[in-house]
Amino acid sequence: MGSALLDLWSKNKLYKFTVVDPLKYKIIEGKFKHKRIQSIASAKQIQNTYNFDIVVLAVKPQVTKKVLKEYKFFSFKKTCLLISIIAGKKIIFLQKLLPNIKQIVRVMPNMPALIGEGVSCLVSNNYVSNANKNKVTKLFSKVGITVWLNKEGKIDIITAISGSGPGYVFYLIDAMEKAANNLGLNENCKIHIVRGFIFYFLSLALIIPFIHALQRSRFEGLNSTIILALKFNGPKPIVFIHDSRNYRVPVDFSIAESTIP
């Protein structure tokens, strides 16, 4: 995610970056061949931390403590903002490891941020100034929309949804494509129909509250010939796809295969 954010942020010529990555610093250096992005292998190579307005942490949760040991005794200016996109690591944890940065914001961007269409949820401690809130909002607006939360606990809920949610969406797409294949659609037609279907209904869900969008009456009001209805058979959800010819194609999520009854 850190690399994807850098790709999008680097398009703004007003920003300058110092990237510390012991494994990929040469790749980053070769990719961004201009003076606005400096890529180094170690924090020991940083000459003046007072130059930084924002520090972004984008490391794996399991190595966070080890990585941040290098930064613990660095001095930063009072207005410096720490942004963390590390899953599961709370603000109080970051405060202990980086005591010289008081203003901290946790951000949880989701997968569509990779293409600039994400939703980033943000939460801060009480030290963050309005000016810095505006800065971080502007940064993450480059990769989609931003939503500020009033409690840090909510970001862990969003992490769970954002982390596993895409898997269910792709699982649904895969199951529906197999159903289309069993109906005799060719590969090209199957992909366009199913993915177009998913895109249409997700777009529709932004207009109509999603829980209502699953109700038949709402779809009939929109003159739709396709109805998606959920039926639960014990612990296994079964999706029935109905169309105007009265086909009923059950998609069993336990095996992600489809048959026409």
CA dist 17 → 12, 34, 59, 76, 115 (Å) = 11, 11, 16, 16, 20
| Dihedral angle sign, alpha carbons of residues 91, 93, 96, 97 | negative
pLDDT (0 to 100) of residue 128: 96
Q: Could you state, in chain order, the average pLDDT of each consecutive group of 10 residues for the chain (261 residues)?
A: 79 82 82 78 84 89 89 90 91 93 92 80 95 93 90 85 77 83 80 78 63 46 40 40 42 37 34
CA 35 to CA 29: how far, in whole Å?
A: 10
Amino acid sitting at position 25: Y
pLDDT (0 to 100) of residue 184: 83
Which is nearest to 63 in space by CA: 21, 121, 125? 21
Contact predicate 61/89, CB 8 Å: yes
Structure tokens at 172: 């649904």
Strands 103-109 and 236-242: unpaired
pLDDT (0 to 100) of residue 88: 87
pLDDT (0 to 100) of residue 207: 60
CATH superfamily, domain 2-108, is NAD(P)-binding Rossmann-like Domain (3.40.50.720)
The torsion of the CA quartet 39, 78, 65, 119, rounded to 10 degrees, works out to -70
CA 174 to CA 172: how far, in whole Å?
A: 5
What are the sequence ranges of the domains in the chain? Answer: 2-108, 164-258
